[in-house]
Amino acid sequence: MKPGTLAAALAAAGLLTLAACGGGGGSDTPVATAPSTPATPTTPATPATPATPAVPAAPAQAPVTFANVSVHDPSVVRVDGTFYVFGSHLAAAKSTDLVNWTKIADGATATNPLFADVTKQLAETFAWAQSSTLWAPDVIKLDDGRYYFYYNACKGDSPRSALGVAVADRIEGPYVNKQVILKSGMWGEAGADGTIYDAVKHPNVVDPQVFRDKENRLWMIYGSYSGGIFILQMDPATGLPLAGQGYGRHLLGGNHARIEGAYVQYSPESGYYYLFTSFGGLDANGAYNVRVARSRTPDGPYVDAKGTDMATVKSDPAKPLFDDASIAPHGQKLMGNHQFALAAGETGTAPGYVSPGHNSTYYDPATKQYFIIFHTRFPGQGELHEVRVHEMFINEDGWPVAAPFRYVPLSRAAGTPSPVVAAADVAGSYKLVNHGKDISATIKPSQAITLAADGRVAGAVTGTWTHKGANRIALAVDGTAAVYNGVLSRQYNTNANAFTVTFSAQNADGVSLWGARVGN
């Protein structure tokens, strides 16, 4: 405050006076004056109570938006920081963050940019399969620095199929056909192994995935329904199978069991190769669901948590075609039809999936994160399908479990919460989905439970829970002998516009539980 301003303020308050000289009018006569009354002392003011410091408001979460695409049977490959997915009907899309996707190709037509006129390049394949479209492909970069596109076509109502490979210098093509590798469905004729083709034991040569094992050897796994899933060792110099293998080694399925979409992922964390497949049918009423088995070697045998050799899992030939009951008890079921209810304060459409499946996976060696990429349909939306990505984790039993919500990096969360989920963060109310073990078009609804601070589980499910450190959780559910071992994480709940505590757990019966915390 300026000095002049201070003086004016003090004068206005009666605290600043001007002193006068002499005795009033210059008179010599003394003037009598009455004595002044002493001022009454004032009571000192009570000091004001200091204000309580305001608690800083929690930072507001910026809504996360997604750019979605429809690519059926998405097979992922990463090139120079960009993720590509290639799918059926020669569809393809790309993303730099697994959240926002851009479609770059679609349709097995002469104008598709992935090929210089695919109708001519793959004429032999279309003619053999008696089809005008392509099924689920896979793309891999081999040692020569070029990209190998493993394509296939199928008649659809029979296993008459052809599988081949095309090559390009760029991931986005154009690809040039190299050759057809395998054919199937040749009724009354010899197949690749020299015996008369038999659809209940020989493969339908579709849905390839080509991968390297930890020793850098190259393999191709493939197959759908019919005789099941097979694996071949490949020549990395040519991208073709090593000679003398026929159709390769049988790993899973047979007798037209509804099993397809095989994909193998090696985990340096656990030392296992994980074989992902989809059981059931792909359409909205088909009950597609994702299952996994594991092996210490890339070509099997693959087993589930019960130790069942998946090569023995097949339909019963004495039962009607596509006998699901014989295969449903086997494999670890990661996800199937489900829907989370909206909790108080949540908005939008209740999230859930219908017939999620035909997945691929990706392991990031830099961040040590696992991702599962798949297509799914949605409750009440018919055959509309889109790509979804979820983070995966390896539980303490060495099995992969998938996060309940689609992937959004935790770096997008307001306030940068810790990736470590402490025991104190876990207690609260949850929406719980039990994926069961069945192959059913029924949509499993979430149930309300509470994980109490004292370790009790209450609500629609009862039992106990234990925080085991390192983001691990165990749930013992009343009425179920096998304990569910899971992983805690913070995932983005679109309907709440918040990153919330979740758990993904699985037991030795092959049943998965998904839990998402609601409220505070």
Residues with a catalytic annotation lie at: 73, 260
For residue 512, which of 444, 421, 453 has the smallest C-alpha distance? 444
User: Which whole-number Å values give the CA distances from 437 to 133, 213, 228, 333, 440, in the listed order?
Assistant: 33, 30, 20, 6, 9
What b-and-e string marks burial along 153-181, b requiring 16 or more CB atoms within 10 Å of the CB? Answer: bbbeeebbbbbbbbbbeebbbbbebeebb
Contact between residue 490 and residue 504 where contact means Cβ atoms under 8 Å apart:
no
Which residues, 6+ apart, have CB-to-CB distance to 275 below 8 Å?
221, 229, 251, 252, 262, 263, 264, 292, 293, 294, 295, 300, 302, 310
Q: Which helix (H) or strand (E) holds 497?
A: none
Please report the beta strands in 126-267, taking only residues with DSSP state E, as ranges in sequence order.
Answer: 138-141, 147-154, 161-168, 176-184, 209-212, 218-222, 229-235, 240-241, 249-252, 259-266
Tokens (6 digits) for 431:
């929406």
Alpha helices in 64-209 (DSSP H): 118-121, 123-129
- Bridge partners, residue 304, by sequence: none
User: Which whole-number Å values give the CA distances from 457 to 1, 280, 338, 430, 510, in the listed order?
Assistant: 64, 33, 21, 10, 21
What is the CA angle 315-317-319, rounded to 5? 85
